Amino acid sequence: LAGILGGMYAQATKADLTAHEVSCVGRGDDRCRFVVGEKARLVDVPTMVRKRAPVAEIAQALRNTKRTP
């Protein structure tokens, strides 16, 4: 589903976007959540997800990541 979301947003905006699932019911989380953004900004997200970082921590890390012009 993350690939579909990333592709849809990338196509709609003509930007280099990707998506990652940051929480998943199938992994025991209370709901499935995704982040969609510029590939360069989301590069650390998969590692954070593998380490089971809380969604709030992932969101804060993304807020602290500079956007590409």
- Chain length of the chain: 69
Q: How large is the C-alpha radius of gyration of the chain?
A: 12
- Digit-by-digit pLDDT tens for the chain (69 residues) are 888 888 898 889 998 899 999 999 998 999 999 999 998 899 999 999 999 999 999 999 999 887 766
Please tell me the predicted confidence (pLDDT) of residue 65: 83
What b/e sequence results for 6-21 when a residue is b if at least 16 CB atoms lie within 10 Å of its CB, and e otherwise? beeebeeeeeebbbbb
**Residue 5 exposure: Cα atoms within 13 Å on the Cβ side:** 12
Please tell me the predicted confidence (pLDDT) of residue 32: 93
